[in-house]
Amino acid sequence: MSNIEYEAKIYDVDPADIAGKLAKLDAKEVGSYNFRRYVFDTIPAKPDRWVRLRSDGKQATLTVKEITADTIDGTHEWEVEVSDMETTLEILAKIGIKPRGYQENKRQEYDLELLLQAARLAPSSYGMEQWNIILAQDAKLRAQLKKASSIVNGSRFDASHILVFTAKTASGFDKHMTHMLRDVKGANVVTAAAMKAGWKHWAKTDFKVYDTPDGLHQWAARQAYIALGFVMLAAAERGIDSCAIEGFSIDKVVAVLESFKLINRDNDLPVVMLALGYRADGSTHPRSRREMDEIVTWY
């Protein structure tokens, strides 16, 4: 089964200028790596189909790419991971497939620490920080998250950073609250017990979220969305594009995250993802919003 590739080319990029802009954003360089790629003709050769062998220094893949239409979604690809790039190159040569092109370039990766700090400093109900963030940079993890999402969100997983926000379940929150009161806030036993009792009364009586497991999880999810909003506002203020993603199967994403040992579904569940980066052409989409007097009631 093929995947549809959404691809855009950015012209006139000045690496030094981009590095300077990232520095102004308090971005931290976390490493650089060499991209190596060989391109081969298929047998028989076709102008709209080719084979690519590529490595980023960490992972090597063998891909067949085919252009079926001159549109943004007109390129299809079939890709598998290979364990050894040099051996794969030799195998291809043995069966008569020799490269017609080779390219090598260096890429630098930045960690947007400032945006993560915006999430960390976001307020939450009772100050309990009932959420976590998974920074999904691993290529295999991204590919599986993409498969677990709706096709309209496929291109968003090509963004420079993907954040997965998780929120505590009812059972997970009980342990988390103990940790927050004891280890983060430094409350003694008496103070912690009083705070737990006060919160429990509020959760049962005022907001009525305590007696249903899903109610507690949805309450925790709302706190995650506050952190999400802080990240998106911080990104917008610095000219970084962002897109919140809810178009995914929670069950499938849970399975993916558990397979990578990133969550335990008894304690945490994914609630929203966020793509961060820069749009290719600087364009903006048409925007429609209700009038202010329809949204706000003054009394």
Q: For 1-39, write each residue's pLDDT tens digit.
A: 555 555 555 556 666 777 776 666 566 665 566 778 999
The domains found in the chain, sorted by start residue, are 3-110 (2.40.320.10), 113-277 (3.40.109.10)
pLDDT mean across residues, the chain:
87
pTM above 0.85, yes or no: no
- Greater confidence (7 vs 192) lies with 192
C-alpha distances out from residue 101 to 10, 38, 50, Å: 21, 6, 11
Give the torsion sign (CA, 23, 28, 33, 39): negative
> Which amino acid, residue 247?
G
| 63 φ, ψ (degrees, to nearest 5) | -135, 135
- 53-57, 156-160, 243-247, 279-283, range with the lowest pLDDT: 279-283
Residue 217 pLDDT: 96
Which residue from 128, 126, 108, 212 is spatially nearest to 168, judged by alpha carbons? 128
Task: Give the tens place of pLDDT for each residue, 70-89.
Answer: 776 778 889 899 999 999 99
Task: Give the tens place of pLDDT for each residue, 114-144.
Answer: 899 999 999 999 999 999 999 998 989 999 9
Residue 272 pLDDT: 98
Distance CA(261)–CA(136), nearest Å, equals 13
The H-or-E segment that residue 122 falls in is: none
For residue 107, what is the DSSP state? E
Residue 133 pLDDT: 98
- Greater confidence (3 vs 232) lies with 232
**DSSP states of 33-71 as a string?**
EEEEEEEEEEEEEETTEEEEEEE-SS-EEEEEEEE-SSS
Distance CA(105)–CA(50), nearest Å, equals 20
Residues 130 and 224: beta-carbon distance below 8 Å: yes
Residue 110 pLDDT: 58
C-alpha distances out from residue 271 to 140, 153, 170, 187, 286, Å: 21, 16, 14, 29, 27
